Structure 1
């Protein structure tokens, strides 16, 4: 992400179990997977600059994840998808598009909508203005491509990585295991009303990710900013774990009792309920500050992947770009082995 200066990264087929978010170094990873894991799964990674702009996220299924980010003018809703493959039943693909359509129908019209991921569909070469497909697709459209084109037409979406002229190497997004077949099945789409803000979109074959898919990027002309937080959210919470200590707990009880005794002596009928509550709240807070104290902020966790593995992954990327197949295969196995070792630590 740092090398390509990416702020938001979508992942497909993560095979992670459950749903939620976690920190990875200075980045935030949001995941939506199946209960047991092992198949499907989508995730969105937010950079350090963007994670504070996060408004909300909604894990829909192990194929759909919705993330909302606050931008300068309006929120950006990112829908990360992983569509069923051609081997899946027709009912499964219909269920996927029904859920995706329900997500878009629930959005407000003025929001920026970005739909991205692996659609396992070929839109083909040639412009289809009504469906938002540009001149720079690839191959022949298939049945799943017809479904995707109809979905784009209904929702007014533009397929960004078919709209910008690039060489063929920057168009195809998937390579078969034997290396002979290349297809364009991964897409980044945006609302037509916001397409003028897109500066570029294309596949990045040089971004070696140890997968048969190529990274697809979109450069969007917008500014994210840190979400405004109220002061109460910025204040560190009290370290209530200290109350497990019998001495601290007894000291807190005595101090609280003494403070309430003083309030009872000062209480008079002229004191309004709001004024009384303010005094009680201030008393409890002052005692907690003196006896319990505030929780100490923890340092962000370090990345679990070592620097040596990152260096090996960079060597692997260079070997693939320079056509050194044997060195690439050797480094690929070594990187996987080192990652498993780092994960066990």
Structure 2
């Protein structure tokens, strides 16, 4: 009889599991398949530049993110386009400093998406991989029941909430409205920038783990109360990580004694799930090193989704395709001796009776193919496989290396003038 995993084993991230690989769980007649799904949230600080949108989708593909909630897109007219295997959906906003959006991998089927307000939006994914997508009243609607719901949230800052409590109340009213519209049978994840610090201790709260950061503020109390009332759980307070993978935002404050700015590191971006679904979490943490500049870090949650939902379908199984070696056609095109040797060898092979020829056209063609490949292997040979190079010319490689170094410097510089100069120089390099 198989041993039941303990709570510690169930909530510890798997070390050897590979994204997208189906595996069996348990033993006996009934085998349960499971697949991986990665959900993220990222405050992008503007997506008007096509270059920034391209670098964003490239980073999401590099981090294997399937669905990402985006805040502060600053697109007043909205956007809907496909870039590098991800579909970017950005909602129009009345306020330039707001804007919500989603980046969805092409391997997932979108069921529906809508905006509740400038600060709350909802995306649902279909459980049918072959669902036919149609457009109805300006919204994307697909057949099949919703499998996964992502609520994108961008809360007002603590400073705005302190001076205008009604704005914070409106935000949580909109969040509660979006939460009530999601089917109870669907997996639910609320991802976004909540501008709230829940703190490092649990303080008799069942909605968070023991690995938060800092001291809880009054907006953090409001978030914890909302999660406790709605039976939700703050995923990125569960797992123990270094401080750099817990903090999600870097700010600056003036040190009067030293007369300079010093960095401030807070945890204000969260991925929230239902308490009953937290067993699906494999890991949840923040990551640095994103190509688009932002003072926020991306937060990624790794989920182990039971295959019974069927959202990933058969695409998650990796097929091993044996790659055939390629003939060195350059020698055949440039060397006269090789051409004559190949022609003579092929002519002699075709002239020899093999007993394979018959009335079937396909059998005759298969026999001719064997002679062609055999003659090429003997006289021409195979070409050496070339490794795919990341850069095609030295200038592009040097510019990419220089902009990465500038991005690292921007993280630690404290002087305002130097910081502005570095940002201008990096932007020029990226556009060139």
Q: Could you say which TM-score interval applies, normalised by the shorter chain? A: 0.5 to 0.7
For the pair 1:125 / 2:175, whether they are aligned, the reply is no
Aligned to 1:77: 149
Alpha-carbon distance in 2 for matches of 1:313, 1:43: 28
Q: Does the 8 A contact of 1:128 with 1:134 survive in 2?
A: no
Q: Secondary structure at the match of 1:210?
A: coil
Aligned to 2:86: 27
Q: Does the 8 A contact of 1:127 with 1:133 survive in 2?
A: yes
Q: Secondary structure at the match of 1:145?
A: helix
How far has the Cα of 1:54 moved from its partner? Answer: 0.6
Taking a change above 3 Å as real, the CA distance of residues 220 and 71 of structure 1, as seen in their structure-2 partners, is: farther
Taking a change above 3 Å as real, the CA distance of residues 324 and 125 of structure 1, as seen in their structure-2 partners, is: closer
Aligned to 1:206: 289
Aligned to 1:192: 275
Q: Does the 8 A contact of 1:32 with 1:64 survive in 2?
A: no
Q: Does the 8 A contact of 2:71 with 2:101 survive in 1?
A: yes
How far has the Cα of 1:127 moved from its partner? Answer: 2.1
Taking a change above 3 Å as real, the CA distance of residues 146 and 320 of structure 1, as seen in their structure-2 partners, is: same
Alpha-carbon distance in 2 for matches of 1:218, 1:115: 11
How far has the Cα of 1:87 moved from its partner? Answer: 2.6
Q: Secondary structure at the match of 1:103?
A: helix
Aligned to 1:41: 99
For the pair 1:145 / 2:220, whether they are aligned, the reply is yes
Q: Does the 8 A contact of 2:111 with 2:146 survive in 1?
A: no
Alpha-carbon distance in 2 for matches of 1:316, 1:337: 9
Q: Secondary structure at the match of 2:273?
A: strand
Alpha-carbon distance in 1 for matches of 2:156, 2:227: 17
Aligned to 1:107: 182
Stretches of structure 2 lacking an aligned partner (at least 5 in a row)? 1-59, 129-144, 253-260, 315-392
For the pair 1:225 / 2:351, whether they are aligned, the reply is no
Q: Does the 8 A contact of 1:210 with 1:332 survive in 2?
A: no
**Matched residues, number:** 259
Stretches of structure 1 lacking an aligned partner (at least 5 in a row)? 228-306
How far has the Cα of 1:332 moved from its partner? Answer: 3.6
How far has the Cα of 1:21 moved from its partner? Answer: 2.6
1:147-170 deviation per Cα after TM superposition (whole angstroms, max 9, x unaligned): 000111111111111000001111
1:7 pairs, out of 63, 66, 77, with 66
1:166-189 deviation per Cα after TM superposition (whole angstroms, max 9, x unaligned): 011111111114452111111011
Aligned to 1:158: 233
For the pair 1:92 / 2:92, whether they are aligned, the reply is no
Deviates more, 1:87-96 or 1:140-149: 87-96
Alpha-carbon distance in 1 for matches of 2:411, 2:182: 47
1:58 pairs, out of 91, 107, 114, with 114
How far has the Cα of 1:57 moved from its partner? Answer: 0.3
1:105-162 deviation per Cα after TM superposition (whole angstroms, max 9, x unaligned): 1222121110011000000011256441110000000000000001111111111110
Aligned to 2:50: none
Q: Does the 8 A contact of 1:131 with 1:152 survive in 2?
A: no
RMSD: 3.2
Alpha-carbon distance in 1 for matches of 2:273, 2:400: 32
Q: Secondary structure at the match of 2:239?
A: coil
Taking a change above 3 Å as real, the CA distance of residues 56 and 324 of structure 1, as seen in their structure-2 partners, is: closer
Q: Does the 8 A contact of 2:399 with 2:429 survive in 1?
A: no
Alpha-carbon distance in 2 for matches of 1:198, 1:314: 35
Alpha-carbon distance in 1 for matches of 2:396, 2:230: 43
